[in-house]
Amino acid sequence: MPRTRRRLPSREPVERPDELDPSIPFPPMEAELVRDLPEGEDWQYEPKWDGFRGILENASGELRLWSRNARPLLRYFPELRSLEKLLPEHSALDGEIVIERGGVLDFDAMQTRLHPAESRINRLSGEIPARFVAFD
C-alpha cells in the first residue's frame, strides 16, 4: 500500500497509508503534556470543549462517529447523521460533540444521551440536540 508523509508541529515526518481500513476508526490527535507552551507563529491553540471527543468519518458513503477510545457513538446522536451530506467520502474530521443550553455547554446533558433505550435517545435528540465542533 502506498504511503504518504506529512509533518506534525514537531516537524517529525509520519507515515500513514493512503487508504484507510474502514473497519478501523480514524485515530484522533491526542494532546501532549509539556512543561512549557511552544512559542512562535506556527502554533495555534484550541479551547477545551465540554463534551465528548468524536471522530466523524465518511467511509465509502457510510457515516460513522467514534469516541476517542474507538467506541461507536452515532446511535446516541442520531441528529448528527445529517452531516453525512457535508462530509466527502473517504474523509474524517476530529472534533467534539457538544450540547449547548442557554449559551453554555452542558456536559450533564451529554451524559444523559448515553442510554440504551432508542426511544429515549430519539426524544432527547429532538429536545436537546447535539452539535459537532470540528477542529482537525
Q: Which amino acid is at 65?
A: L
Confidence label for 4 from pLDDT (cuts 50, 70 and 90)? very low
The verdict on residue 7 lying in a domain is no
Q: Is the pLDDT of residue 20 over 60?
A: no
The verdict on residue 126 lying in a domain is yes
The verdict on residue 99 lying in a domain is yes
Q: Is the pLDDT of residue 10 over 90?
A: no
The 3-state DSSP composition of the chain as helix, strand, coil percent (nearest 5) reads 20, 30, 50
The verdict on residue 35 lying in a domain is no
Question: Cβ distance 125 to 79 under 8 Å?
Answer: yes
Total domains in the fold of the chain: 1
Residue 136: the pLDDT is 77
The verdict on residue 44 lying in a domain is no
In which domain, by residue range, is 73 found? 53-136
Q: What is the CATH number of the domain that holds 125?
A: 3.30.470.30
Q: In this structure, what C-alpha cell is assigned to residue 26? A: 480514524
The verdict on residue 17 lying in a domain is no
Residue with cell 502506498: 2
Question: Between these two residues, 113 and 43, which has the higher pLDDT value?
Answer: 113
pLDDT digits (tens, 9 = 90+) for 71-90: 999 999 999 999 999 999 88
Among the listed residues 7, 11, 35, 48, the single catalytic one is: 48
Residue with cell 451529554: 110
How far apart CA 18 and CA 14 sit, in angstroms, is 12
Confidence label for 131 from pLDDT (cuts 50, 70 and 90)? very high
Specify the range with the lowest mean pLDDT, choosing from 4-8, 53-57, 115-119. Answer: 4-8
Residue 77: the pLDDT is 97
Closest CA to 28 of 62, 70, 73, 82: 70
Is residue 48 part of the annotated active site? The answer reads yes
Taking the model in full, what pTM does it have? Answer: 0.74
Residue 16: the pLDDT is 47
Q: Is the pLDDT of residue 1 over 50?
A: no
